[in-house]
Amino acid sequence: MNDNELKQAAVINAATEQFRGLLETHFKQIAKAAQESFIEDENQTEPKAKCAFAVEWDSLAAAPKINVKVSWSVRFKDEAECEIDPLQSKLKLEDADL
């Protein structure tokens, strides 16, 4: 293996270890967030846990620094709908004795 292949393998191995550690550390929090959002969303058939990972490293460095990040979020949404007819004539209200 040449130096670039050794560095590639080392970066992949280190990032994979960090990925695993972050997922193990935050697994329950990610799953809990999915379950809590499921309760509020009538359109889901089951809770779905989602997270994203990002890996950064100094590609030109002989001994690159590797940074792995995990992120997760819960998205709530709400909506309202109505239909209006702006051409509908206004009704005149007359004074009524009550």
Nearest CA-CA partner of 21 in 70, 86, 64, 76: 70
- In this predicted structure, what is the pLDDT of residue 86? 76
Q: What is the pTM of this model?
A: 0.66
Encode burial over 63-85: b for 16+ CB neighbours within 10 A, e otherwise. Answer: eeebebebeeebeeeeeeeeeee
List per-block mean pLDDT (blocks of 10 residues) for the chain, which spans 98 residues.
92 96 94 80 74 94 94 73 75 60
- In this predicted structure, what is the pLDDT of residue 94? 65
